[in-house]
Amino acid sequence: MASLGSLATVPLKAKREGDKNAKSIVFVGLLWFAVLFAVLCLAVLLIDTFLDGRTRLDGNLFTRYTSEVIPETAGARAAILGSALVIVLTAAMAIPLGVAAGIYLEEFADSRRWYNRIIEVNLTNLAAVPAIVYGMLTAGVALSIGLPRRIVLCGAIALALLILPVIILTTREAIRAVPQEIRQGSLALGATPLQTVWRQTLPSAVPGIATGSILALSRALGEAAPLLLLGGLVFVNYDPNGLFSGYTVLPIQIFNWAQQSQLAFQQVASAAIMLMLVLLLIMNTLAIIIRNRYQKRW
């Protein structure tokens, strides 16, 4: 008991200076500088773009086609519609395929089989493949089967291939987050594995899948590289009207305008950039809202 008594008499150490010494202050200052630098660069870019393009953020931007001769009233109508059509088509191809593949890999695939392991390794690698490669692949395939490559369908296929690995990985993450107890509870009641996926696992994973898919689509929306090879880079002054129609998309239209020397083209390019940023912001916000509102806490 004596030793216990003497232990209790050792006073607690006084509070040390902690974060107040010069080294710590410099370090924290550096961290702040890093954050400020990043935010400032972005702010300058945004403000500059806005100032450049503000006069052209008008109705013409949405309703008129581009023009080679009168840049003052040129609009991005064809590009907006093209982007919308390509993205919808991309989503229609990539999401069902990606979700199905994710479900298979997570719930049914036997990970001890060599082919499933190869698929797993390659999925992660595929997500890091440069976008232009998907463009070249699609162009090559289109050429070899005699499909014109400068059409909406080919653009959407390239973008779908681009985001497919991301959607598969997102789906797997979301499905893995559903607790094993839920599956077991369902199976123990006599549900089949397929019923369990369909009625328990997948519904619980939908918010995660939706969030990931929207983020992937917003990446596809801003992507220009693969579409350069697939006909996005042409002068389009008509609405895309189907899968086999010629088209252009916003990032490529911006690229096109920004190459021109007249100031008016630069201005409309800036306006289109603002438009695209707003679209991306909306999509990303939507993704965050879905994640926060519907995410289940187990």
The residue ranges that bind another protein (CB under 8 A) are 110, 112, 179, 181-192, 195, 199-200, 203-204, 296
Taking the C-alpha atoms of residue 231 and residue 249, their distance in angstroms, rounded to an integer, is 10
Please name the amino acid found at residue 34: A
Taking the C-alpha atoms of residue 209 and residue 290, their distance in angstroms, rounded to an integer, is 10
Residue among 54 and 199 whose Cβ is closer to another protein: 199
Residue among 204 and 256 whose Cβ is closer to another protein: 204
What is the nearest approach in angstroms of another protein to the Cβ of residue 223? Answer: 35
What is the nearest approach in angstroms of another protein to the Cβ of residue 185? Answer: 4
- C-beta of residue 91 within 8 angstroms of C-beta of residue 98: no
With CA atoms as reference, report the closest residue to 272 among 77, 45, 69, 68. 77
What is the nearest approach in angstroms of another protein to the Cβ of residue 107? Answer: 11
Q: Which letter, b or e, does each residue of 96-116 get, where b requires 16 or more Cβ atoms within 10 Å of its Cβ?
A: eebbebbbbbbbebeeeeeee
Q: Calculate helix-pair angle for 202-222, 250-259, nearest 10 degrees.
A: 20
What is the DSSP secondary structure assignment for residue 298, as one 8-state letter? -
What is the nearest approach in angstroms of another protein to the Cβ of residue 104? Answer: 16
Residue among 17 and 110 whose Cβ is closer to another protein: 110
Residue among 109 and 119 whose Cβ is closer to another protein: 109
What is the nearest approach in angstroms of another protein to the Cβ of residue 194? Answer: 10
Taking the C-alpha atoms of residue 176 and residue 191, their distance in angstroms, rounded to an integer, is 19
Residue among 210 and 236 whose Cβ is closer to another protein: 210
